[in-house]
Structure 1
Amino acid sequence: MNNSEVTEFILLGFSLAEENRACLFSFFLLLYISTIVANVFIIVLVYKDHHLYKPMYILISSFSFLEICYTAVTVPKMLSDLSHPNRCTISVVGCITQYNFFSLCAAMEHFILVAMAFDRYVAICYPLQYGSIMNNKTCIQLVIVSWIISCCSLSIPAFSVSKLYFCGPNVIDHFFCEFNHMLKLSCTDTFIVQTIFSFLSWLIIGGCLICIGISYGFIIFTVLKIPSRSGKWKAFSTCASHLTVVGIFYGTVIFIYLRPTERLNFHENKVVSVFYIIVTPVLNPIIYSFKNQLLRDAASNLFCRIRTQYF
């Protein structure tokens, strides 16, 4: 082992032949552009259409903004490494910074999904009081509080990771600076950092998932009391897109972060990470668009106005 201080890491990324690397680069670039365009489009729709200036759609646009940030932290660097396989390095400071911003966006997504579940809970269980409980001001306050909690909860592990010392080796078998890979390379004792990270992971992921589960428990109980089948279907349909996103998001996150560390398989994690970092962010706006009539109508009206004005 080299006892000199490491100043940069090598990201192995994907071990592929040149032609396969080019194909993967093109595919990921297409997905990344689609992610940016689709999520920006939803934000613009909510901003431009007054019919969408409601708590539910403010939360959806906030989630879209997070998806843009989420992918921007990791995907551009991954694309750069795919196009320049001989320059797949990142400084230690850059690596820690990437990890911190990635963790912040990930934590924030958990809290936004909880806020969405709360919004659906109020809308279905207390429809007559919805306007007074869940108005736009309350919604914006929830988003701000979510950001504050995310920043505060991650400040301790962020500080702990910044104090890690790396003296070699410096090869990360991933396409971004994932937490467990960084700990594996540290020359200092990582027990406390690992304990803090595991505790916060269980607290944030498990706590948010429990809150969502409780919200939908009350929603299901309320819906089952609706006498008409059409009424039940209408109530459930308002939750379908959120439940789909929750299922995809938590399925991948639990697979990676809530397994015992001795069972970690870094190659499996790399494949799953591709799904939730690259594929899921482009699926989410499609899921919300297909499942929501108001969003589809707003998109149609916007295209009509553009066509009328410019063509």
Structure 2
Amino acid sequence: MNHSIVTEFMILGLTRNPEIQGILFVVFLCIYLLAFLGNMLIVIVIIYNNTLHTPMYVLLLALAIVDIICTTTIIPKMLWIMLTSQKTISYRGCMSQLYFFTWSLGAEMVLFTAMAYDRYVAICFPLHYSTIMNRCMCVALLSIVMAIAVTNSWVHTGLILKLNFCGPNAIDHFFCEIPPLLALSCSPVRLNEVMVYVADIILAVGDFTLTCISYGFIIAAILAIRTAEGKKKAFSTCSSHLIVVSLYYSPVIYTYIRPASSYTFDKDKVVAVLYTLVTPTLNPIVYSFRNKEMQAGIRKVFASLKH
């Protein structure tokens, strides 16, 4: 049973300085539009082009959808608060935001691992790629992603719903995230901290390790390529993927692996921007727009719009 007295929360946002807040509003609006439109373009291009209905692009499609959900769950509300100074969010609205954010967080981490495995099979076993990465395997990978994401979200949101919020209701963050909510609770949060720690080890550290192992095998296969041009191209792709993955996993691991008493919200807000906005903006550029097949698909979509 939920015995919370608090019926709404106050989201303090990134800063209380009105001058800086105006600049941040413009910056975050531009970045959000880039993230939203970039990922939406990927969704349209992959759905529209039958030639892109392959496992690699289906996983990219799933990643784009997850990024749209992640950014849209958080950023519009944050921009509204900056624009109007109406900082309140209802208890249900806060829990809904928490649920969809934790869902997208879990889904993105598992998707990165699935995409790394897909590239591992493509580069290390090119002759068997179509056999290994068939439709059943693709459906299985997406089912695993969904199952883990939903389980992760239900566990954390369910545990938050059991907490009592009977004191201060000011969330020192720009959205409803687990650490600032635990800091506001007047109930024991030890179980919540343990489950967050376990999820961080299994999902963040585990998936990051598997992703790095996959790219380790990929780099070993690349070294066997005879042409210098082939090595350069493959290394360029792998390095950009690993940079984006590291930008995502590092702040997530940093944020969730500590107890509630050690949170430093001013620093954590900046760190949270990396995995809520920066990475979803970079994903379309790194994973899709540099790809010749995607570029051809984009041209095809725009050509059809002209007609």
User: TM exceeds 0.5?
Assistant: yes
- The residue that corresponds to 1:5 in the other structure is 5
Tell me how many residue pairs correspond in the alignment: 305
Q: For each residue in 1:128-178, what CA deviation from the matched residue of structure 2 results, as whole angstroms up to 9, or x when unmatched?
A: 100010124422331122101221234333221110001111111111011
Q: Are residues 4 and 218 of structure 1, via their aligned partners in 2, closer, same or farther at CA, if it must alter by over 3 Å?
A: closer
Match of 2:247 in 1: 248
> What stretches of structure 1 of length at least 5 have no aligned partner?
none
Q: Which moved more, 1:28-37 or 1:53-62?
A: 28-37
8 A Cα contact 1:11 1:176, kept in partner: yes
1: CA distance, partners of 2:92 / 2:4: 16
Identify the residue that residue 70 of structure 2 maps to in structure 1: 70
Give the match's secondary structure for 1:10: strand
Aligned-pair identity (%): 39
Residue 145 of structure 1 aligns to a residue in which SS? helix
Q: Please state whether the residue corresponding to 2:248 is helix, strand or coil.
A: helix
Provide TM-score, normalisation by structure 1: 0.90
How far residue 231 of structure 1 moved from its aligned partner, in angstroms, is 3.5
Give the C-alpha shift of residue 282 in structure 1.
Answer: 1.8
Evaluate the alpha carbon distance shift between residue 145 and residue 33 of structure 1 in structure 2; reply closer, same or farther with a 3 A threshold.
same
Q: Distance in 1 between matches of 2:274 and 2:237?
A: 26
More off after superposition, 106-115 vs 20-29? 20-29
Q: Are 2:130 and 1:147 equivalent residues in the alignment? A: no
What is residue 57 of structure 2 aligned with on the other side?
A: 57
Aligned equivalents of 1:148, 1:279: Cα separation in 2: 26
TM-score, normalised by the number of residues in structure 2: 0.91
Q: Provide the aligned C-alpha RMSD in A.
A: 2.1
Structure 2: gaps (5+ residues): none
Cα distance, 1:270–1:40 mapped onto 2, change above 3 Å: same
Trace 1:9-158 onto structure 2 (pairs within 5 A). Answer: 9-85=9-85, 87-158=86-157
1:27: Cα distance to partner?
Answer: 2.5
CA distance in 1, matches of 2:240, 2:60: 11
Distance 1:122 1:274 in 2: 33
Matched residue type, 1:35: A
Please say which of residues 151-160 and 7-16 is displaced more in the overlay: 151-160
CA contact (8 A) 2:164 2:187 kept: yes
Shift in Å, 1:110: 0.5
Higher mean displacement: 147-156 or 18-27: 18-27
Task: Report what 2:221 is aligned to.
Answer: 222
CA contact (8 A) 1:121 1:215 kept: yes
Residue 271 of structure 1, CA deviation: 1.3
SS for the counterpart of 2:9 is: strand
Instruction: Indicate the residue corresponding to 1:302 in structure 2.
Output: 301
Question: Could you tell me which amino acid in structure 1 is paired with residue 124 of structure 2?
Answer: C
* Equivalent residue letter for 1:284: N
The 2-side partners of 1:150 and 1:275 are apart by: 20
What is the DSSP-based 3-state SS (H/G/I as helix, E as strand, rest coil) of the residue aligned with 2:89? strand
2:175 equivalent in structure 1: 176
Q: What is the alpha-carbon distance in structure 1 between the residues aligned to residue 93 and residue 19 of structure 2?
A: 29
SS of alignment partner, residue 167 of structure 1: coil
Aligned-pair distance for 1:180? 1.0
